[in-house]
Structure 1
């Protein structure tokens, strides 16, 4: 009888200890304060805004401001000291084609970003080969009927230089082929949101964007070589047009900046809100 009472008391003490541990952790979390300024990738902006909203609810003394003008502006802002985090669609601590590394910055992986070619629904095309994409974006193929679509002029919509989405699409969907840069059937936009609007409202338009922005009936994702741009196909290795998304910081992140990055990298956010936004959790691509 005494043994049972002692055992129950022990369980009760353990439960109370765990409860106080949870309260203590929550209390410590709520004491976080400070301001985080984030600049850079518009592809990562939906993730950043969602994470900021959740993090601020848990930590009401933390202020987070985010803007997006293209990936290269992220590490540039960190270097200038006007941003704490530079959101970027490539590892800006290393050299990549067209961009030198940002010395002294640390690349913190936060997500896997699938990208997709997209076309205005009027085109009549939902699948293109690599060579057809190269022909279209270089300006050699100018009518949708040349690739099995309607008799309609193709309007190429491109991201401005400095876009991480542009870097990844050119390298991985076009195998490095140069873009056309001018002409009556060419448009250039500054952000993912602008790309979505341009493709949806321009008959015959084609562009590229990350999957989080693909919605509605006015714009259709384009399969490449008969492989659909889906998270599942990125994970199984059949769809190659994707990249890691990074938060660049000046040195290793500390304080409230580290806490925010840790939250985004947590299993709770990665398996919850991040997946709902059509990004892919980091854990899904281990070893790839």
Structure 2
């Protein structure tokens, strides 16, 4: 009986080993090149997912860059990107942007956005009305909203930014931004916004949570903090779905990569660690 058990164990072990090798071999057969362009809010997610996916599929090459959400579907339309990362569903019309015909919106993440100030600002919460006044240029000094006597420096994202689209729609309820002035700055990406807020005293801007650092302050809006729990329970409204836009339904390596980003492993692992919210956490 001992020798029978030994043989049985050996057979099972070999079966498991060959099964693992077979699975790895099958995964490694996937090949191709994936080019991602668009949203800088989604860039940390794209880079992390690319790193993990390439370890599982070493024959797949992935490059990711960001120049604002609108460049994502534009790049897909021009044929220079396989995936257009975008902070809105670019297959439909949104304020300021017409839909991109023929493109499919693949939902990949929930993105919480926050109004952020330099760490020296002595304000912790702003109302919708106060945010509208600040970003439109009607409120110009922090003392008008309970802070110190100091001029407010408004930092805005350039036109074409998905973060800008969502912040204007949801935090400002459609109120127009100011566009010029001695205390007005405009930046091209989330990374540029992060640097500007960290290094500019009395500055205010907006960014997604993945970029928030100890050198800035994420403001409560109407006394509600921009947290995962508050997004999920519906009390914090300034968030959006992030999308990977593709020309028609994705195929091949592109399809496999998107499915990896949408998988429970990535959604509940790296995606959450980056301060995005899993798709499954939101009510349908």
TM-score by length of 1: 0.94
Q: Distance in 1 between matches of 2:13 and 2:219?
A: 54
**Residue in 1 that maps onto 2:48:** 50
**Residue in 2 that maps onto 1:268:** 265
Q: How does 1:158-197 map to 2 (within 5 A)?
A: 158-197=156-195
**Residue in 1 that maps onto 2:230:** 233
- Deviation string 1:178-225 (CA, Å, 9 cap, x unpaired) is 000111111000000000111111111000000000012x21000000
Which one of 146, 149, 152 corresponds to residue 150 of structure 2?
Answer: 152
Q: How does 1:59-74 map to 2 (within 5 A)?
A: 59-74=57-72
Q: Is residue 254 from structure 1 mapped to residue 251 from structure 2 by the alignment?
A: yes
Displacement after TM superposition at 1:286 (Å): 3.3
Displacement after TM superposition at 1:62 (Å): 1.1
Q: Is residue 284 from structure 1 mapped to residue 273 from structure 2 by the alignment?
A: no
- Deviation string 1:9-34 (CA, Å, 9 cap, x unpaired) is 99987776565444322211111111
- Deviation string 1:101-124 (CA, Å, 9 cap, x unpaired) is 000000001110000000011221
Secondary structure in 2 matching 1:123: coil
Secondary structure in 2 matching 1:244: strand
**Residue in 2 that maps onto 1:115:** 113
Deviates more, 1:58-67 or 1:5-14: 5-14
Question: Is the contact made by 1:113 and 1:242 (CA closer than 8 Å) also made in structure 2?
Answer: yes
Aligned length: 284
Q: Is residue 89 from structure 1 mapped to residue 112 from structure 2 by the alignment?
A: no
- Deviation string 1:228-285 (CA, Å, 9 cap, x unpaired) is 0011110111100000000000000000001111111111110100000000001001
Secondary structure in 2 matching 1:42: coil
Q: Distance in 2 between matches of 1:10 and 1:285?
A: 47
Question: Is the contact made by 1:227 and 1:239 (CA closer than 8 Å) also made in structure 2?
Answer: yes
Structure 2 unmatched runs, 5+: none
TM-score by length of 2: 0.95
Q: Distance in 2 between matches of 1:114 and 1:123?
A: 22
Q: Distance in 2 between matches of 1:284 and 1:206?
A: 30
Structure 1 unmatched runs, 5+: none
Q: Cα RMSD (Å) of the superposition? A: 1.9
Q: Distance in 2 between matches of 1:81 and 1:36?
A: 12
Q: Distance in 1 between matches of 2:168 and 2:13?
A: 56
Secondary structure in 2 matching 1:145: helix
Which one of 243, 254, 264 corresponds to residue 240 of structure 2?
Answer: 243
Question: Is the contact made by 1:123 and 1:152 (CA closer than 8 Å) also made in structure 2?
Answer: no
Secondary structure in 2 matching 1:116: strand
Deviates more, 1:248-257 or 1:9-18: 9-18
Displacement after TM superposition at 1:152 (Å): 0.6
Q: How does 1:4-83 map to 2 (within 5 A)?
A: 20-83=18-81
